[in-house]
Structure formats: C-alpha cells, structure tokens
Structure 1
Amino acid sequence: MPEVSEQLLPGYMIRRGSTLERSLLLKFMQLTYQDLLPNEDFSHLEQTVKQYFSSDTPLWWVEEEGERGSRGERSNFTSPPYPLPPVPLPLMPNTRSPIACLWVGNAIDQVHGNRHAHIFILYVVPEHRRRGIGTALMQYVENWAIQRGDRQIGLQVFQSNKPALNLYNQLGYQTQSLWMVKFLSAEK
C-alpha cells in the first residue's frame, strides 16, 4: 500500500502511521515523558503501547517536506538530528524521520456515555517547536474527530507542562475534571 501524506503546514507533511511503527511510537512516548521528568525510568511505556496501540487507535507522523528523488520518492533518513532512546528505529520505506507525532484513542464520556477521541500523545521535537505544528495537529485531529461523529476530544496534561496547557487553553479546551492521586506507602 503506498504511503499517503498531505501537507499539514508549509514545509511539513502529515501521514497516517502504521501498527508496524510500534517501536517509533514508543520512542516518541519516552521523549515526551523524559522532557517532563528527566530522571525517571519509562520502560513501562512499552506495556502501554502493547496494550492500546492498534488499527483502532490512529497514529499520525509529521515529517519535513524533503527533496524528492528522480522517481518521486522521498529520501529515507534513519538518523534524526535529535536524541532518541535506544530502541530500534523501524521507519517505513521512503519516509523521513518524523519530527512530531499524534496518537489518538477512544474514550467514553462518563456523563453522557458517548464515545469520543482521546489524545494519548502529541509530541513535537524541540527543534521544531513554536512553529505552529502543535496547533496544526490539534486542528487536524479535531477535523478527524468531527468527521467520525465525535462531539468532544479529551486529553490529559501534566499541570507542570505550561506550554501544553497554554496551547490547549488557547484552542478552547477546558478542565472538566481533575485527576487526583494519593501515593501509598507499602510500609506500615
């Protein structure tokens, strides 16, 4: 099946990911959390990807527009200009290294019982931030969700992630509930 991509913003293309890109998704999830909590171990994220990533949970990659070869195919870069965790990089044929990703799942609204899109991850590598990619991805997923009949989109964001909070607030997202935790001690 040929790769289908479209322009997201000038200079950036978006393409639908494949379930074969599980390792690359895991890398981007690790990058997301390492940005926020650099001294933590996120090896458990592999289980999250294993349990929730499927053809029913769409994944999109953003890549820079590249020079096309003589037959029209894009170059295949395997060494991105940003650090990735030590996981094999399974790029699809004729694709560039992604600079952003968006992974979406499904959730059920606990008030009305309606299925809706839930953003698992939105990540843009640091070198490409503040260029409108996050905003464009949010608009992209909103259009996708509307087309499939969703009436809302949910997401979870760390309270300490001020840039993400600012983006979501600017786009009209509102706090509907607070996720609260209490850490328990095993000692008595």
Structure 2
Amino acid sequence: MSEVFIPGYHLRQGSRLDRALLLKFAYRTYKEQFPDQDLSHLALTVEQYFSPQTPLWWVDKFNPDSYPPEPIACLWLGNAIDLADGERTAHVFLLYVAPEHRKRGIGSALMAHVQQWAIGRGDRKISLQVFTNNQPALNLYQKLGYQPQSLSMQKILYREVELP
C-alpha cells in the first residue's frame, strides 16, 4: 500500500523481497561518496542486517502508467544502542534520493517519517552516520536539529600499490 507522500510522490513500505533493490540503492549511495572504491562488501552488509526488524520504505514518483513503480528514494531503518546511556534508538541505515529528485523536500519528508516511526516505537532518539565530505546531507541533518554526538576517526595503515 502506498500513500501520497509529497505532491507527485508516493511512499510505500518495502518487503523482504526488496533485498536486491536495497543493495542497488546502497551501492548508489556509497558510489557517490567513494567512486573508486570496491563496494562488493555491501552485499554482505545487506545480507547480515536486512531483517523484519529493519524496515524499508521506497519513494516512487507518481506515474499512473508505470507498474511496477520505479523508486527514486530509499529509507532503511533499524536499531542502535546508545553506548553512553544504554538506550535503544532508531537508527537510519540508509537514506538515498536520486540526484534528479533532490532539493524537492523528499529527504526532509523521509526524516519526518523516521521521527514518526521512532516516536511510535517509544524511542527517544534517532541516530545516523553521515560522512564528513557529504555536505548536502550534513546541511539537511543540521537543519532538522541533528547534532554530532561523536566523531569516528580512522588511520589508513597502508594502501595497495599498483605495479607498472
């Protein structure tokens, strides 16, 4: 079942049958941030974490002549534990909007959906991860009231060297 989400778009809940499509959207998401990276590990990530406890929603552009609907955005949610206080929180695993549909309020509307879902479950917080080089996403989350809680750091120990 789908519902009018914002004018011209419908929101519908995904199912366990959407595993391949979820992987496709995860790949798109990370390819934008890391175009030269091998992302084959995403298949294992989806395999391990996609479950009945991690719901999925799709946004379809309204087109009465198109069946099945072709999603232009994806929202995948789950659970996290705040290690500072032990509380379960709603966690955004993935939020992706196709580039040609950005700046139309879809990301903000999806985050409002996250908030409704979290409140409905009794969660008091929502967590997510955003890469520091993803300025549009950082701007969106800050505009919506999200604040940094921690900073993930890493040190690259070696890089594979290509031989001539």
TM-score by length of 2: 0.94
What is the aligned partner in structure 2 of residue 44 from structure 1?
Answer: 41
Deviations 1:98-140 (A, max 9, x none): 0000001100111111111110110000110000000000001
What is the aligned partner in structure 2 of residue 14 from structure 1?
Answer: 11
Structure 1 segment 25-174 matched on structure 2, within 5 A: 25-67=22-64, 75-76=66-67, 95-174=68-147
What is the aligned partner in structure 2 of residue 184 from structure 1?
Answer: 157
Q: Paired residues, what number?
A: 160
> How far did residue 37 of structure 1 move?
1.2
The one-letter code sitting in structure 2 at the alignment partner of 1:158 is F
Tell me how large the CA RMSD over aligned residues is.
Answer: 1.4
What is the aligned partner in structure 1 of residue 162 from structure 2?
Answer: none
What is the CA–CA distance in structure 1 between the aligned matches of 2:9 and 2:113, rounded to whole Å? 13
The 3-state SS of whatever aligns with 1:143 is: helix
What is the CA–CA distance in structure 2 between the aligned matches of 1:13 and 1:112, rounded to whole Å? 37
Q: After the TM superposition, which of the residue ranges 154-163 and 36-45 deviates more from structure 2?
A: 36-45
> How far did residue 184 of structure 1 move?
2.5
Structure 2: unaligned runs, 5 residues or longer: 160-164
Higher helix residue share: 2
What is the CA–CA distance in structure 2 between the aligned matches of 1:65 and 1:99, rounded to whole Å? 10
What is the CA–CA distance in structure 1 between the aligned matches of 2:4 and 2:116, rounded to whole Å? 15
> How far did residue 185 of structure 1 move?
3.8
TM-score by length of 1: 0.82
The one-letter code sitting in structure 2 at the alignment partner of 1:66 is N
The 3-state SS of whatever aligns with 1:47 is: helix
Deviations 1:37-79 (A, max 9, x none): 11111011000000000111010000011226xxxxxx32xxx
What is the CA–CA distance in structure 2 between the aligned matches of 1:56 and 1:145, rounded to whole Å? 13
The 3-state SS of whatever aligns with 1:99 is: strand
What is the CA–CA distance in structure 1 between the aligned matches of 2:90 and 2:3, rounded to whole Å? 21
